Homo-oligomer: A and B are copies of this chain.
Amino acid sequence: MLNFSCYNPTRIVFGQETIPQLAQLCPADAVILLLYGGGSIKQNGVYEQTLAALCKHTVVEYAGIEANPQFDTCIQARDLARAENVSFILAVGGGSVIDAAKFISLAIQYDGDAWDIPTNAARPTEAIPLGTVLTLPATGSEMNANSVISRSSLQAKEAFSNEAVFPVFSILDPSVTTSLPLRQTLNGIVDAFMHICEQYATRDCGARLQERQAEAILSSLIEVAPLLLADPDNYQHRATLMWCATQALNTTLGSGVVHDWATHMISHYLTAHHGLDHGQALAVTLTHLWRHKIEAKRERLQQYGQRVLGLSETSSAEDAICATEEFFHSLGVPTSVTDYGLSEADCLVLADAATADHLMVGEDRDIDGTAMKEILLASLNK
């Protein structure tokens, strides 16, 4: 186990009919920026429940945060927040809205060029406090200090982490997720799965407990995913998925272990250049990256196959990779870039872009543009 420091002060309020607790959780005298996305919260009742809980608070609304939240949109919201003297941000939505809220909460207080924040050119320590009502289990942003901000004019997608932006509280009511489209439910399952793998399918450092904790969430996801697809209105299955996604990236699994994150870094190019959903992009990358790195990851993948996938004691790392692809296919999730219309030429363009960016990621810092080319070409259906 490596030395580590971990800290997570977010209060989770989990369960049915918890949104009314906003009345007590939001500071009484605050000017609240209610931040949300494209309006799905007006269809599923969350908007109505939120406003009802905040009937005695001062609320300013900003709607229109998009998937893969855009820098320019966030700056509009920041300017509104400054003009209205906002002192608390309530993000209602999925990871995109929460990531945007984190960036805005820092940007309100920051006097320099706000693009410094996602690019880590500056690390401000002052932020407006924020809370969340989660409507889409996937990114774990509701219980961590991470945020990813995109800027389409630069084809850029930048990640930062800052302790000042841990949500003060996050309300997780699984019942509001029953109305999610299948595609978003699947993206959530894949996203949580990938977050675990980035902290688990890496170089061994003797962290026995963390390995088993990762396996516990992977096993739960693999168990509940088909049950949920067969019975999308089942509260217990929704609750399991929601809590798995939060636990997958709330600092516990990542403490004291070697991280990978190459799958995420490669997938960002697929999203930025071809508009794949984050979950879709991850699923067409993971297993091909694993095959590329099989010698380094062999023992861990074998352990994963046997402990998580229930493969036999004689099963190999290759068997575990194939079984993972079968799992994704069983959910209807493609594992090939061909399924999203990409050609060999497209893959080469992406790899060239990564080379130009001096990409050098993964637990051994050996995934560069050349490695990415091999991985993406392997993801093409022959």
Task: Choose one: B1, B7, B15, B215; the contact of A12 (CB below 8 Å).
Answer: B7
Q: Which residues of B contact A8 (CB under 8 A)?
A: 8-9
Q: How far is the CA of A243 from the CA of B1 in the complex (A)?
A: 10
Q: Which residue of B lies closest to A206 (CB)?
A: B236
Q: How far is the CA of A204 from the CA of B3 in the complex (A)?
A: 36
Which of A219-227, A325-333, A340-348 lies at the interface with chain B?
A219-227
Task: List 9 A-B residue pairs with CB atoms under 8 Å apart, sorted by A's residue number.
Answer: A1-B236, A3-B14, A3-B16, A7-B11, A7-B12, A15-B256, A212-B216, A213-B216, A247-B252
Q: Which residue of B lies closest to A209 (CB)?
A: B220
Q: Which residues of B contact A208 (CB under 8 A)?
A: 220, 223-224, 240
Q: How many copies does the complex hold?
A: 2
Q: How far is the CA of A239 from the CA of B1 in the complex (A)?
A: 7
| Contact assessment for B1 and A5 in the assembled complex, using a CB-CB cutoff below 8 Å | no
Task: Choose one: B3, B12, B239, B255; the contact of A5 (CB below 8 Å).
Answer: B12
Q: Which residues of B contact A7 (CB under 8 A)?
A: 9-12
Q: Say yes or no: is A83 at the interface (Cβ < 8 Å to chain B).
A: no
Return A141 CB to nearest CB of chain B, in Å.
Answer: 17
A1-34 to B contact mask, C-beta < 8 Å, 1/0: 1111111111111111010000000000000000
Q: Say yes or no: is A244 at the interface (Cβ < 8 Å to chain B).
A: yes
Instruction: Please tell me the number of chain A residues within 8 Å of chain B, measured between CB atoms.
Output: 40
Q: Which residues of B contact A9 (CB under 8 A)?
A: 7-9
Q: Given A6-B12, A256-B14, does the pair A209, B240 have CB atoms closer than 8 Å? A: yes
| Contact assessment for B6 and A255 in the assembled complex, using a CB-CB cutoff below 8 Å | no
Q: Say yes or no: is A217 at the interface (Cβ < 8 Å to chain B).
A: yes
| Contact assessment for A244 and B209 in the assembled complex, using a CB-CB cutoff below 8 Å | yes
Given A2-B15, A8-B8, 10 further pairs, Cβ under 8 A: A3-B15, A4-B12, A4-B14, A5-B11, A6-B14, A7-B10, A14-B256, A209-B217, A209-B240, A212-B217
Q: Which residues of B contact A223 (CB under 8 A)?
A: 208
Q: Which residues of B contact A12 (CB under 8 A)?
A: 4-7, 255
| Contact assessment for B206 and A212 in the assembled complex, using a CB-CB cutoff below 8 Å | no
Near B by CB (< 8 A), chain A positions 301-337 give none
Q: Which residues of B contact A256 (CB under 8 A)?
A: 14-15, 239, 243
Q: How far is the CA of A349 from the CA of B33 in the complex (A)?
A: 62
Return A205 CB to nearest CB of chain B, in Å.
Answer: 9
Q: Which residues of B contact A3 (CB under 8 A)?
A: 14-16, 18
Return A162 CB to nearest CB of chain B, in Å.
Answer: 15
A254-265 to B contact mask, C-beta < 8 Å, 1/0: 011000000000
